[in-house]
Amino acid sequence: MSKIAITAFSSISPLGNNAAVVWKKYLDNEHCFSTQFLDQQNTSVAVLDQDSKELVTAIRESDSKYKLLDDSVLFALAASRKAVAQAGWNKNDVFGINIGSSRGATSLFEKHYKEYIETGKSQTLASPTTTLGNISSWVAHDLQSVGPEISHSITCSTALHAVLNGLAWLKAGMADKFLAGGSEAPLTDFTIAQMRALKIYSRVDQTKEPWPNLAFDFEKNQNTMILGEGAAVCCLEAGEQKNAIAYITGYGYATEVLEHNISISAEADCFQKSMKMALKNEKLEDIDVIVMHAPGTIKGDLTELRAIEKIFGNNLPLLTTNKWKIGHTFGASGLLSLELALLMIQNNTFIGVPFSEAQNQTKPIKKVLVNAVGFGGNAVSILIEKP
């Protein structure tokens, strides 16, 4: 495929909203989980850091129209403003926007629905502020852009599907620039309760155990997924670019044949297919790192590892994930994994999982594969390369 440049990247997450701060936090061995009283019991979650909370509050208070927006929209506004400024885009540039979300306006929807159950009436702006499409629409309004605006939900692979959509627009010549990403604010009682009902939420007591989410521990005997909140976006441009921070040189996608709503095969056939597609023009020995989806569930982590072993045999690249540190951010998770990939390339430093067996970096990090998959087995693999 012809090169697609990533010319800017921005995020807002429990790690912060500044790349230097995020990288510094990746270099330590501390997770970002706190304990909150959710769903009528103490629950481990990963919330935005204090600087990011203040940034979101400032955006909310900057415009009367923003006061009633869901956090998922405000997170996307914060990340998008920084990315576009970093890329040097302005309101005269025509660029597309695709920012998706797994759950959308989670907190606001639950608030409005509760009011309806209690009063039998709905607030005037309940519909326009909770529809999924309002994320990209508000970002377009905020940036005064004039290109296409798209929002979608493909569960936990949403953000990487947004990248795929951006690639399609660019490769088709229908756009020269595209802003792609995902946003998620899922830390609500009802969402946590749904994850507990699936028996995948962590029951580890973080006051007694150092690692509440054992993502990347392939011998764990219980599911340990923990939710986090945040948003991430990247600016994509067609062709060679002087300000490129990385190039997307491969992409793949596949869908699992389902036995039930959340099933995945023993060797994650969808991941095998998406990785093969992304790597079809590559020598496997040239892939330096894989940032795994690895949410912290027994089956999810292990089946992805088996898929990687099927593709790479005994010569595995360095393997890692970030969900032990910031939790699973659902629709934003793929782009936050891409952030780790970009930072490792930029700093030529591998970030491993502290409670796993040490992996030694023996060569420069130039090519990193990023995986994501969601309920329904919608897998995406994106290969990025150092400029």
What confidence score (pLDDT) does residue 261 get?
45
Residue 349, number of CB atoms within 10 A of its CB: 13
The answer to whether the CB of 69 falls within 8 A of the CB of 185 is no
The answer to whether the CB of 342 falls within 8 A of the CB of 26 is no
- Round to whole Å and give the CA distance between 153 and 354: 32
pLDDT tens for each residue of 22-72: 999 999 999 999 998 887 788 999 999 999 999 999 999 999 999 999 999
- Round to whole Å and give the CA distance between 71 and 308: 35
User: What end-to-end distance do the CA atoms of the chain give, in Å?
Assistant: 16
Q: For residue 293, name the pLDDT band (cuts at 50, 70, 90).
A: very high
Q: How large is the average pLDDT for residues 200-221?
A: 93
Q: Residue type for 292, please?
A: M
CA 138 to chain centre: 20
> Is the Cα torsion angle 88, 92, 93, 95 positive or negative in sign?
positive
What is the dotted CATH code of the domain comprising 4-238? Answer: 3.40.47.10
pLDDT tens for each residue of 82-140: 999 999 998 788 999 999 999 999 999 999 999 999 999 999 999 999 998 899 999 99
Q: Which two tokens stand for residue 160?
A: 């990487």
Q: pTM of the predicted model, to two decimals?
A: 0.96
Q: Give the start-to-end residue ranges of the domains of the chain.
A: 4-238, 250-385
Backbone phi, psi, residue 62, to 5°: -80, -15
| Structural element, H or E, at residue 27 | helix 19-27
Q: Do 4-238 and 250-385 fold alike per CATH?
A: yes
- Round to whole Å and give the CA distance between 291 and 311: 15
Q: Give 142-208 as a DSSP string.
A: HHT--S-EE---BTBTHHHHHHHHHHHHHHTTS-SEEEEEEEE---SHHHHHHHHHTT-B----TTT
Beta strands in 239-321 (DSSP E): 246-255, 289-291, 318-320
The answer to whether the CB of 15 falls within 8 A of the CB of 26 is yes
- For 250-385, CATH number out of 3.40.47.10, 2.60.120.380, 3.40.50.2000, 2.120.10.30 equals 3.40.47.10
